Amino acid sequence: MTVLVTGAAGFIGFSTCLRQLVSGKQVVGIDNLNRYYDTALKDARLAQLAAFPNFTFRKLDIARDDILAAFTASERRSITEVLHFAAQAGVRHSVMMPFEFVDANVRGQVAILEFARRLPALRHIIYASSSSVYGRNTALPFRETDRVDQPGSFYAVSKRSAELTAECYQHLHQLPLTGLRFFTVYGPWGRPDMAYYLFAKAIMEGRPVTLYEGTALARDFTFIDDAVDAICAVTDLPPSGQARILNIGSNVPEPVSRLISLLENFLGRTADIRLTPRPTADVECTWASLEQIQQLIDWHPTTSLEIGLERFSRWFLNHSYG
């Protein structure tokens, strides 16, 4: 029994691989190691995974390479779960480079599902969606049953397209599919393009911290360990019948200003905050309803923002300034 993880050098993919490896599972990781952010961080994550004898890595671009040809018939027969986290990230980046999102997030989703439907022992496909699909919705908290036809960014379009693709493949090929709408996942080994990481870097380097105007600016921050707990628990419960979509969040929208205050405390430095208008691609507040996932599994996020940021800050200082 083998777990295939795409985006294995990425934040969520790496963290999920690590948990699966520690539990003793055979894991094959795929990643194209693109240069959207510094590949040194991706290499460092992969080095952590390579220390496990039950880990195998293949450098593949799921949108361009023939995934089927990269695996022998014997290897394909051993894959029981596909955890698909490979994607082009970045809400604002999608405004400037939309074709990258078509390739990675739309074409890549089709490629993985085409590969997965040819796996004879397949039990479950988990794929990463995003809270961004809720777009310009104003009713809070966001529920999986909400309308998601008013995207606020092309990134959201690409992620909603991936959800619709999954629904179609379930209908056509009866694939056991679960999409996870992640809400601002953060923590050690996180993505350096995300706000909390950029804030920490600016604070340490004495540069201005750009904060969007508005007292209601808040995010449903989800600590990585809590997110991985949910991923692993859901993986063991494949759906029957219809494709499933679940929110993965903390159910606690936190003011972004509080995040900055906590980072100041843990990093031991004061932020030079500069206010700027919020871009149209960014929503004011995110908040995940967890009713559906908690009906399925006994999962409750346990890491407060204070504890999570303390753990991130300790890692960040050791990794970047140690």
**Active-site residue numbers?**
155
Q: Is 230 helix (H, G, I), strand (E, B) or coil?
A: helix
Q: Which helix (H) or strand (E) holds 128?
A: strand 124-130
Its sign, for the CA torsion 135, 253, 223, 279, is positive
166 with 109: CB under 8 angstroms? yes
Amino acid (1-letter code) at residue 214 = G
Distance between CA atoms of residues 127 and 6, nearest Å: 9
Distance between CA atoms of residues 267 and 111, nearest Å: 43
β-strand pairing of 253-255 with 218-220:
antiparallel
For 85, half-sphere exposure in the C-beta direction (CA atoms, 13 angstrom radius) is: 24
What φ, ψ does residue 118 adopt, rounded to 5°?
-105, 10
